[in-house]
A = this chain, B = another copy of it.
């Protein structure tokens, strides 16, 4: 009998505040282009006062992946913490409306921590620079992990960003144990090269011992294995992890498993906002995998989904992904 869930994602629950800006704005405000920087509430307030008119759209890396899998009809759930405030309500609504289960208890408070938000600055080239106030999402710990839910899922999907939290390593360990103990599998995304630098040992230990499927992009892969040689990084990853799915921007993606390697070309599109490209890649890949498609087809689906999300503002899918897969002959 199949498990209740195909994928349960665990990550930082976020609402994105999306604003377009020129490259000069990044320089003036000390924002590293294309990466994720953690900011505190004071910096969030100050930066928000400087950015132009914005749009608020639910985000969070693993949540975006789960939303994509849900839109495809996957049996999926998400674990991540928001407060009982207006942004938290938006986050919860959007996940559930997409068809994902989301039962993490809403944080109650007196105005201290708020729901996490990410000020996403999109430059004219479509690149996004992330400024993340973790807020309540920072405090995800073992108590938030429902072992029965993990045991009831074929895969769990862990967001690397989540290593930036005091109790997150313990939470991940609990989730991994519950999943593996019930015969499930573990996937993870490395999320960001600087996040890897902050937590290289923890990532490394997990890759060696627990991870069955690794998602990363080129920069993250080279950061993880501390090399400038992309091929060497891929080989190192493939030696540690059963399946490696590595994106490489406009070059598409590389899938490595059991000594095989597939190159999947990117689907050309005009990049409006790169936010969510890797997230939708992972979400679609996991949907394909848990629905019995071969790895190369999973990679193709993942590239189609990534191209959809970068064609518009926001990191959640807007077009019907199944229809796109059909158009590309994948269904």
User: A: which residues have CB within 8 A of B?
Assistant: 48-49, 51-58, 67, 85-87, 90, 93-94, 97-98, 114-115, 314, 316
Q: Is B56 within 8 A of A57, CB to CB? A: yes
CA distance A237 to B305 in the complex (A): 52
Chain B residue numbers with a CB within 8 Å of A93 are 48-49, 53-54
Q: Is A55 within 8 A of B52, CB to CB? A: no
Q: Is B316 within 8 A of A94, CB to CB? A: no
State the Cβ distance, A84 to closest chain B Cβ, in Å. Answer: 10
Q: Is A90 within 8 A of B52, CB to CB? A: no
Q: Is B86 within 8 A of A51, CB to CB? A: no
Q: Is A55 within 8 A of B314, CB to CB? A: yes
Chain B residue numbers with a CB within 8 Å of A56 are 55-57, 90
Identify the interface centre among A90, A98, A316: most chain B CB within 10 Å of its CB.
A90
Q: Is A51 within 8 A of B314, CB to CB? A: no
State the Cβ distance, A129 to closest chain B Cβ, in Å. Answer: 18
Contact of A86 among B58, B87, B97 (CB under 8 A): B87
Chain B residue numbers with a CB within 8 Å of A98 are 52-53
CA distance A268 to B133 in the complex (A): 42
Given A85-B86, A86-B85, A86-B87, do A97 and B53 touch, yes or no (CB 8 Å)? yes
- In the complex, residue of chain B having the shortest beta-carbon distance to the beta carbon of A58: B53
State the Cβ distance, A119 to closest chain B Cβ, in Å. Answer: 11
CA distance A170 to B114 in the complex (A): 38
A-B contact pairs, 10 of them (CB 8 A): A48-B93, A51-B97, A52-B97, A53-B97, A53-B316, A54-B93, A55-B55, A56-B90, A86-B86, A86-B87
Chain B residue numbers with a CB within 8 Å of A54 are 90, 93-94, 97
State the Cβ distance, A308 to closest chain B Cβ, in Å. Answer: 14
**Besides A52-B97, A85-B86, A86-B86, 8 other A-B contacts (C-beta < 8 A):** A52-B98, A53-B67, A53-B93, A53-B94, A54-B90, A54-B93, A55-B314, A86-B115
